[in-house]
Amino acid sequence: MDQCFYKIPFDFASVLDESHGRSNMCSELDSIDQHIEMLIGTYPGEHCFDRNYGTGIWDMDFERIVSLDAWKTRFTECLSDSISKYEKRISNCEYKLVVEDVLKENALFRNVSVRKKVDIYITATLNSTGAKCQLYYSLFLGPLSKD
């Protein structure tokens, strides 16, 4: 069965356009990547149709990191729980986190801040083909934001 996957954000104008009436398509892996990025960026309770949708990493955003290993373990558990529950197109996920301090300078306001950057590497098996795939995400903590 052929499946089609749509790019996020969905472009309703292109679907309603009488000249071609199609939305932008993407591969299954790109669709999975977009969905996981949306899952990571959603706080549990924020989605009105499923209050559990999202990841618990938002609760760790302003947390003071006492033990980096314990923090990474908890962060990985939050990701793993959410991805295994909401993204059924991949399996056998392995997670690697790289946490580093990043100096952010704002020339306009002349201020400097140090933030935690978390690079998330996910290696998984694509269920439809059995092929290995790799996904990458980058987040800044305190407050949490995308790169």
| Topology given in CATH for the domain delimited by 5-146 | Nuclear Transport Factor 2; Chain: A, (3.10.450)
- DSSP code for 8: S
Q: Over the stretch 16-28, which tens digit does the pLDDT of each residue have?
A: 666 655 557 778 8
> In three state form, how does the secondary structure of 23-89 look?
CCEECHHHHHHHHHHHHHCCCCCCCCCCCCCCCHHHHHCCCCCCCHHHHHHHHHHHHHHHHHHHCCC
Q: What is the pTM of this model?
A: 0.77
Confidence of residue 9 (pLDDT cuts 50, 70, 90): low
The whole-number average pLDDT for the span 64-79 is 87
